[in-house]
Amino acid sequence: MTMANRTRSFNNRVCEAPYLIFLGPPGSGKGTQAEKLHKNFRLVQLSTGNLFREHISKGTELGLRVKDILAKGELVPDDLTVAMVMDRLAKPDTIMGVVFDGFPRTRDQALALQYKLEEKGKCITAVIQFRISDEQIVERLSSRRMCPKDNSTYNLKSSPPKNDEKCDLCGAPLIIREDDQPEVVRHRLAIYRQQTEPLIEFYREQDMLVEVDASRGIEEITEQMDEWMPMFIYNAN
Ligand code: AP5
């Protein structure tokens, strides 16, 4: 499906292109579904977690500053995070639409994003809230594996690699993310409750929120997303 020459509408909001926010706790499946929207609808997957990990693996100045923060499961300061996101948003491919995966996570990040998009004549189309229990999160993250080269994500239970803990795409040996250790996961969850969960109300008040039952299987959720897409994308001509 191509999205050229279309305008988008959701709750009477008309945006130049779909700008969707995926909001949910760690391990709720945001990245998995964002990858699918990228493949199926050509939206840019703007994952702040992936961008930070890329900086870390390249050893950039930003990577060196945030390495320990990610390992401990803390949030990177807002100014660094917002600057990195704005940098990515300045690239031309984002004009066709973006799925923000793991951003914003604080009120200040949310305000910065809204302000910046409005300044460019764009707007947030919808915020998808991923709902899931803590027990399922812990189970999913304990069996998550990741490719250190291309960031693709696997799960030994729900979406195992074809070949014995190697990446299906590039063959690199898969790794366990440092922040998927159980005590770090608990800390990330606590931070989510404290700093990010209040955004649910923030977006509900603006009539932007759509909830998804993220406890279901990957394919079922993808089908639901595909059904919803016309709500965010319609041809006004
Ligand atoms: P980030 O990488 O964004 O981590 P996160 O939000 O904690 O999200 P996860 O990647 O853990 O989970 P997910 O919801 O994407 O689930 P996934 O699809 O992988 O951030 C990492 C760190 O970077 C943060 O802790 C922070 O330090 C920093 N950071 C990032 N953004 C920031 C920001 N805005 N501000 C400040 N700091 C920031 O799925 C999880 C597992 O479950 C996988 O194995 C997957 O295969 C499996 N799975 C997915 N869906 C299903 C399903 N439906 N059924 C069964 N299994 C499933």
Reported as a single tens digit per residue, the pLDDT across 64-75 is 999 999 999 999
Reported as a single tens digit per residue, the pLDDT across 83-142 is 999 999 999 999 889 999 999 999 999 999 999 988 888 889 999 999 999 999 999 999
**Residues 3-13: what's their mean pLDDT?**
54
Choosing from 30, 36, 53, 122, the catalytic residue is 30
Query: Which atom of ligand 1 is closest in space to residue 72's alpha carbon?
Result: 27
- Distance CA(49)–CA(68), nearest Å, equals 13
* 204 noted as active-site residue: no
Amino acid making up residue 6: R
- Distance CA(129)–CA(149), nearest Å, equals 29
Q: What residue spans define the domains of the chain?
A: 3-132+196-235
* CB-count burial class (<10 Å; 0-12, 13-18, 19+) for 8: buried
Say yes or no to pLDDT of 174 above 60: yes
Compute φ and ψ for 2, nearest 5 degrees.
-110, 155
- Distance CA(187)–CA(194), nearest Å, equals 11
Q: Does the C-beta of 46 come closer than 6 Å to ligand 1?
A: no
**Residues 148-165: what's their mean pLDDT?**
90
> 32 CB contacts (<8 Å, ≥6 apart)?
153, 159, 218
Write down the CATH superfamily of domain 3-132+196-235.
P-loop containing nucleotide triphosphate hydrolases (3.40.50.300)
Residue nearest to atom 27 of ligand 1 (CA): 70
> 117 CB contacts (<8 Å, ≥6 apart)?
19, 123, 124
